[in-house]
Every structure is written in C-alpha cells, then in structure tokens.
C-alpha cells in the first residue's frame, strides 16, 4: 500500500502532472465551448480555471506546486506577445491609415480603464494596496504585476484582476458592440485590446482577422502607455 | 511574407521560427534592463519592444519570414491557454477575494464595459471627424 502512496506523492508534486492537467483542462474547455456553440460565456480561460482549482483544492496541492508544471505554458506569453507582430504586419496599411483614431482611442480608453476602476474601488473604501493592484488591470498580466509591485500593490492580486478583466471583456464585447450597432471591426478590435489585453485579443482573433490585428496593437500600445503613465506617476510622486 | 500555400516547412524551419521569436523577446528584455539602469522605476514591457522589432524584421525578410510567421500563428492560435496558469492563481487570494470580492468584481465589470464603450466611441468619432 505504501508503494501506491509513494507513487501518489510523486504524481501530485511532479510538474508533469500539472502541466498535463492544464493542457487537458484547456482541451475540455474548448470542447465544452464548441458544444455551447462557442458562446462568449463559455470562455476557455474561465472554464479551465474552474476545472483546475477544485482539483488542486481536493488534492491539497499548493499554487507554487501547480505552477512548477504550469510555468512551461505561462512562459510562452512572452513569445506570444512578440508574435502579435504578425497580424500587425499583415494589417499594417490599415493601422497606418487609422493612426489618429488609434492615438485618440488609446489615450481615452487607457485613462478610462485606470480611472474608472480606481474610482469605483475607492468609493468602496478599498485600501491603498488593493487600489495599486487594480490600477493596471487592463494590461497584460506580466506588465500589470510589475507595475502593481512598483506602486506598492499585491502582484498576485493584480494578476487575478487582470484575468478577470480579460475574461469580462471577452464575454461582453460581442453582445455590447452589437447592441451599440457598430460593424467597424477595426474599432471593435481596438476597444477590446485596450480594455481586455490578451484575453480580449484572443476573442477578437476568433471573431475577425482585422479585429484581431487592431486588438493586438491596442494591447501592445496600452501595455506601453499604461507603463509610461504609471512610471511617470511614480517618478513625479 | 506570402499568403501562397507553398511547400511544407522543414523541421529546422520550425525551430528557426521559434528561435527568432525568443531572440526578439530577449533583445526587448535586454533593452529594458539597460534602460532600468538609467530609470529604476522603468516598467516598459520587453516583449512589446520585441514585437516592434519583429514588425521591422518582417518587412525586411520577405519570403524568408515564412517559418517565424508559422510559429507566431501557432502561438496566437492558443493564446487563451497561456493565461490559464495565471487564472488558477486566483486560489492564492482567497482572503482578499472574500473581503473585497464584491466591490472588486463590480469595479472590474463596470470599468471594462465603460472602457469598451469609450474606446470604440473615441475611435469611430475621430474617424468620422477626420473624414469630414
């Protein structure tokens, strides 16, 4: 019997188990999404986490142990960000034509994203470290965690809020834009990239190639712009 | 760069394509580290610099960019998967979520909806104003 429990201990702490679990959960999430007609509510990030967290809690596995396996997937976020150069290059002519709307929408969207989240959280009396963690919620997780840390926030909470923002945007963007009655896919893509970074971009790539390209550039620009804005704030403080 | 379906990539091409993505990121991160020596609070994302670098390279590489384009499209096709490990990280913040979950959820949802409307509105209105 002790032989089996040793095997279990090996499996529960092996990076292979949690890397495998992450991949299997994602494939299942995609299957479930397809069964539901790719409804935006069946968000694959949300579904995967909803499957993995109970398994980790039931097996008493800590997040650091899980991450030892999952880090191999997480690591690819960097090269994936670099990869956004490809849809950007493919749509470079359209992006160049829209350079002024892009600049205006970037500033308006980025300031709205930060300001409105800070204002609502502050109204509820959230402490400074929570405010510092929610400020960069609309930019990609690695950037937001870095910014939250410099602002005196909690990096892991910042990551959670970033994911939540991404999933929220990916879920509401299509119904919201249809309700607004706009078929301008460059504008729609740009909006979801500014508001909901990579998770919004993943949704945009699913809907329309042009939307995907503008979401990619929006995500990159907002990451850079938010970083410059908050770094400037830190330097002036 | 081409959209023509050409001969399949050789194994070495896949590796070369992925290597170029990694090297662009590495160049971006290195530049950020150098800038940090000058401005310690500098938090500019290295991968974003890598992305801009790759746009420049794609313009120069022409048809030789096929492997890196294949690697990039492959990664972007599974972009959602790459966020799963961070999403699972929510389990680390149980206490904060219990204390602040409601207000934080409201702040995130309301702010995201508002950002979407403001951004799409600013984009479209600027376009209309320019074409007048």
Predicted confidence (pLDDT) at residue A200 exceeds the cutoff of 90:
yes
The span from the CA of A167 to the CA of A159, in Å, is: 12
**pLDDT of B7:** 67
- Residue contact A120–B103, C-beta within 8 A: yes
What angle (nearest 5°) sits at the alpha carbon of residue A223, between those of residues A222 and A227? 110
Do B106 and A121 form a contact (C-beta atoms < 8 A)? no
Which residues in chain A touch residue B42, judged by CB atoms under 8 angstroms apart? 231
Same domain, A142 and A40: no
Residue of B88, B102, B130 for testing the chain A interface, max A β-carbons within 10 Å: B88
Same domain, A70 and A128: no
Do B122 and A120 form a contact (C-beta atoms < 8 A)? no
The encoded tokens of residue A191 equal: 């909006």
Predicted confidence (pLDDT) at residue B93 exceeds the cutoff of 50:
yes
- Residue contact A163–B83, C-beta within 8 A: yes
Predicted confidence (pLDDT) at residue B41 exceeds the cutoff of 70:
no
Do A73 and A49 form a contact (C-beta atoms < 8 A)? no
**What is the average pLDDT across B54-64?**
92
A4 min Cα distance to partner chain B (Å): 28
- Please tell me if residue B33 touches chain A, with a CB cutoff of 8 Å: no
Closest to A80 in 3D by CA, of A231, A212, A225: A212
- Residue contact A194–B42, C-beta within 8 A: no
Query: Which 114-143 residues of chain A touch chain B by CB within 8 A?
Result: 116-117, 120-121, 124, 126, 130, 134, 137-138, 140-143
Q: What Cα–Cα distance (Å) separates residue A211 from each residue in A220, B23, B50? A: 14, 27, 22
What pLDDT, in 10s, does the model give residues A53-78?
999 999 999 999 999 999 999 999 89
> Last residue of some domain: A35, A54, A75?
A75
Closest to A220 in 3D by CA, of B55, B97, B86, B83: B55
Same domain, A100 and A213: yes
Which residues in chain A touch residue B58, judged by CB atoms under 8 angstroms apart? 85-86, 89
The span from the CA of A122 to the CA of A137, in Å, is: 15
A135 min Cα distance to partner chain B (Å): 10
The encoded tokens of residue A16 equal: 């292979």
**pLDDT of A92:** 87
Same domain, A48 and A104: no
Same domain, A70 and A98: no
Q: Which domain holds residue A66?
A: 2-75
The full length of chain B comes to 132
B34 min Cα distance to partner chain A (Å): 16
Residue A80, CB half-sphere, CA atoms under 13 Å: how many? 25
- Residue contact B87–A163, C-beta within 8 A: yes
- Please tell me if residue B17 touches chain A, with a CB cutoff of 8 Å: no
Do A57 and B91 form a contact (C-beta atoms < 8 A)? yes
- Please tell me if residue B110 touches chain A, with a CB cutoff of 8 Å: yes
Percentage helix, strand, coil, to 5, in chain B?
85, 0, 15
- Residue contact B47–A76, C-beta within 8 A: no
Q: How many CB pairs under 8 A join A and B?
A: 318
B26 min Cα distance to partner chain A (Å): 9
What pLDDT, in 10s, does the model give residues A114-168?
999 999 999 999 999 999 999 999 998 878 887 888 888 988 888 889 999 999 9
**pLDDT of A146:** 79
> Last residue of some domain: A75, A109, A133?
A75
Of residues A87, A168, A234, nearest to B109 (C-beta): A168
How many Cβ atoms from other residues are within 10 Å of residue A161's Cβ?
Answer: 30
Do B18 and B12 form a contact (C-beta atoms < 8 A)? no
- Domains held by chain A: number: 2
Which residues in chain B touch residue A83, judged by CB atoms under 8 angstroms apart? 21, 51, 54, 71-73, 75-76
What pLDDT, in 10s, does the model give residues B98-112?
888 889 999 999 999
The span from the CA of A76 to the CA of A103, in Å, is: 29
B5 min Cα distance to partner chain A (Å): 16
DSSP state of A117: H
What pLDDT, in 10s, does the model give residues A75-95?
998 999 899 889 888 888 888
First-to-last C-alpha distance (Å) of chain B = 35
How many Cβ atoms from other residues are within 10 Å of residue A175's Cβ?
Answer: 11
Do A85 and B55 form a contact (C-beta atoms < 8 A)? yes
**pLDDT of B1:** 47
ipTM value, please give it: 0.87
Q: What Cα–Cα distance (Å) separates residue A161 from each residue in A70, A141, A202, A208, A210? A: 19, 9, 18, 26, 27
Same domain, A231 and A203: yes
Same domain, A97 and A159: yes
The span from the CA of B69 to the CA of B42, in Å, is: 31
The mean pLDDT value of chain A amounts to 91
The span from the CA of A179 to the CA of A162, in Å, is: 25
- Look up tokens 């770094």; give the residue: A231
Same domain, A104 and A89: yes
Positive or negative: CA dihedral B12, B18, B21, B27: negative
Same domain, A70 and A97: no
Same domain, A8 and A55: yes
Do A121 and A134 form a contact (C-beta atoms < 8 A)? yes
Same domain, A182 and A89: yes
> Last residue of some domain: A58, A75, A92?
A75
Same domain, A21 and A133: no
């Amino acid at each position: 019997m002790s032989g089996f429990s040793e095997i279990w201990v090996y499996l529960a702490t092996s990076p292979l188990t949690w890397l495998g679990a992450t991949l299997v959960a994602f494939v299942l999430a995609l299957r479930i999404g397809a069964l539901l007609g790719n409804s935006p509510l069946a968000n694959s990030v949300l579904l995967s986490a909803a499957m993995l967290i109970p398994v980790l809690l039931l097996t008493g596995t800590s997040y650091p142990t899980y991450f030892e396996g999952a880090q191999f997937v997480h690591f690819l976020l960097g090269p994936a960000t670099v990869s956004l150069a490809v849809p950007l290059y493919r749509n470079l002519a359209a992006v160049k034509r829209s350079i002024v709307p892009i600049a205006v929408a970037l500033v308006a969207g980025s300031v709205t994203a930060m300001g409105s989240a800070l204002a609502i959280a502050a109204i509820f009396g959230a402490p400074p470290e929570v405010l510092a963690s929610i400020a960069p919620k609309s930019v990609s997780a690695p950037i937001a965690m870095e910014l939250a840390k410099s602002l005196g926030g909690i990096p892991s909470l910042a990551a959670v809020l970033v994911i939540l923002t991404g999933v929220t945007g990916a879920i509401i963007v299509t119904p919201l834009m249809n309700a607004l009655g706009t078929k301008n896919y460059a504008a729609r893509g740009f909006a979801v990239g500014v508001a909901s970074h990579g998770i919004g971009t993943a949704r945009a790539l699913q809907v329309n190639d042009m939307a995907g390209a503008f979401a990619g550039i929006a995500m990159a620009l907002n990451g850079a712009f938010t970083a410059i804005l908050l770094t400037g704030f830190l330097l002036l403080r | 760069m081409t959209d023509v379906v050409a001969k399949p990539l050789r194994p070495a091409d896949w590796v070369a394509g992925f290597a170029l993505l990694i090297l662009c990121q590495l160049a971006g991160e290195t530049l950020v580290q150098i800038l940090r020596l000058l401005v310690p609070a500098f938090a500019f994302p290295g991968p974003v610099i890598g992305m801009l670098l790759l746009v420049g390279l794609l313009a120069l590489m022409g048809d030789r960019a096929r492997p890196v384009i294949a690697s990039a499209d492959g990664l972007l096709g599974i972009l959602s998967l790459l966020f799963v490990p961070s999403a699972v990280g929510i389990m680390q913040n149980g206490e904060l979520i219990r204390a602040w979950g409601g207000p934080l959820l409201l702040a995130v949802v309301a702010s995201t909806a508002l950002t979407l409307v403001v951004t799409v509105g600013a984009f479209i209105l600027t376009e209309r104003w320019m074409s007048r």
